[in-house]
Structure 1
Amino acid sequence: MTDASAQGPAARIRVLVADDHVTVREGLTAIIGRQPDMIVVAAAATGRDAADLWLEHRPDVVLLDLRMPVLDGVGAMTEIRQQDPSARIVVLTTFDTDHEISRAIKAGARGYLLKDAQRDELLDCIRKVHAGETCIPASLVAKLAASVSSEELTGREMHVLTLLASGKGNREIGLSLHISETTVKSHLRSIFNKLDVLSRTEAIAVASRRGLVQL
């Protein structure tokens, strides 16, 4: 049997690393490059570069950050999967809200890890996704399940929630959206019910935790 270290580049898992932070990008490239069964074929600093380099190199696995300039991770995933719906993508990010997880999974991510994951966990995830498996930690699956089980807010409710989180009162929200205070109150009742909260403060806290608003 041939030892993995003796395998040529073509026999290894070909990885594209995409992260806008140079130290993270170079660190990941170094870690992956030391593995006898992996090789980094390209590194991207923007989502745009990630999509373009994927098309050029057709890697086996993409290791992708969510928040990147020019084109974000979800946008890059969408473009890549338009070219190949079976593309294998692992999201590696600092964001663990159910909103971010849901967006990534819906866009086609096969794996989702946080940047504080252990090195072996990351490498194992790359191998699993390359083998056709999914790789999402149980704690993140629980958040995703909670997101799926809760009712989604309407577009208008999201507008009201965003203004609420910015510190505006009912009257100011109404003026901003050109609706009456009574209508604002009706939207707030619906928001509270969907988020399973009892107060404005609690609504903002839950919305922030889920990634629905940025404080």
Structure 2
Amino acid sequence: MSTQSSHGLSVALACAEGEWSHDDWPAPDDRYVGRVLHIPPPYHALRETEVDVVVLRCEDPSVSFPGLLKAMGAMSAPVIVVSPRGDMETVVEVFRGGAGYLVEGDYCTCMLSSAVMAATVGHTYLSPTACAALRDAARRMPGEEEARERLRSLLSPRERQIMELLSTGLGAQEISLRLRLSEKTVRNNLSNIYAKLDARGSTEAVLRWLGATSRVRV
């Protein structure tokens, strides 16, 4: 793993020695990440660091994620979980905790850097498999379809388009490129969306959009 000193974001990589497979990350020309610090379990050294984002790489997030949050204490840095597990229960549990989720083999290092950047502006990033797991969880909740459609009707066609992209794990910058809008326009739309959905941020907005908030409250 490379540890760099630059003007990019600072990331704490919380994982056991030898468990991280991206020794070439961040690349020297990475647009977002400039420094990576390795913090081994039980992660107590996190409280002595000043980082922008924490990336937790673990085999079982149901055990490691709560342990990480406990070790972080009052730290407010956002968390991204990287794990080989992509089952519905695990993804929902992590997402409920407000963390992004990347399933191993389902992302590239460019996506990882984008997820880190997105986390600093309050976006909870999901890789495609994690996103599909969250959608499956929403579909399995009985009696949610009517409530979900009623809530979606509050949004304009453009806002629904943006929410559809947001729920697939894209951030404001990526959405702006996809829709050929300015990033400021996308962020203004997101602010309106959060107000209409009575959501405190992107995580809760996605849960409401997918119809998962009656059982899952962030």
Q: Tell me which interval the TM-score lies in, with the shorter structure as reference length.
A: 0.5 to 0.7
Q: Calculate percent identity across the aligned residue pairs.
A: 16
Q: Which residue of 1 is the match for residue 11 of structure 2?
A: 15
Question: 1:114-141 deviations in whole A, cap 9, x for unaligned?
Answer: 2211121111111111232221134422
Deviation, 1:41, is 4.5
Q: Which residue of 1 is the match for residue 25 of structure 2?
A: 31
| Counterpart code for 1:58 | E
Q: Which residue of 1 is the match for residue 208 of structure 2?
A: none
Counterpart of 1:61 (choices 40, 53, 74) is 53
Structure in which a larger fraction of residues adopt helix? 1
Q: Which residue of 2 is the match for residue 74 of structure 1?
A: 65
| TM-score (structure 1 length as normaliser) | 0.53
Show the 5 A alignment for 1:150-169.
Answer: 150=140
Counterpart of 1:92 (choices 82, 92, 95) is 82
Q: Which residue of 2 is the match for residue 43 of structure 1?
A: 38
Structure 1 contact 17–28 (Cα < 8 Å) conserved: no
Q: Work out the CA distance in 1 between the residues paired with 2:137 and 2:52.
A: 30
| TM-score (structure 2 length as normaliser) | 0.52
Structure 1 gaps, min length 5? 1-7, 153-215
Q: Work out the CA distance in 2 between the residues paired with 1:93 and 1:68.
A: 7
| Counterpart code for 1:78 | L
Question: 1:93-131 deviations in whole A, cap 9, x for unaligned?
Answer: 11100111012112231x211221112111111111123
Q: Work out the CA distance in 2 between the residues paired with 1:43 and 1:77.
A: 14
Q: Work out the CA distance in 2 between the residues paired with 1:45 and 1:62.
A: 12
Structure 2 contact 91–134 (Cα < 8 Å) conserved: yes
Structure 2 gaps, min length 5? 143-218
Structure 1 contact 32–38 (Cα < 8 Å) conserved: yes
Aligned length: 137
Q: Which residue of 1 is the match for residue 103 of structure 2?
A: 114
Deviation, 1:16, is 0.6
Deviation, 1:59, is 1.2
**Of the two, which has the highest radius of gyration?**
1
Q: Which residue of 1 is the match for residue 181 of structure 2?
A: none
Show structure 1 runs of 4+ deviating over 6 A: none
Report the CA distance shift for 1:89/1:112 in structure 2 as closer, same or farther (over 3 A).
same
Q: Work out the CA distance in 2 between the residues paired with 1:143 and 1:36.
A: 29
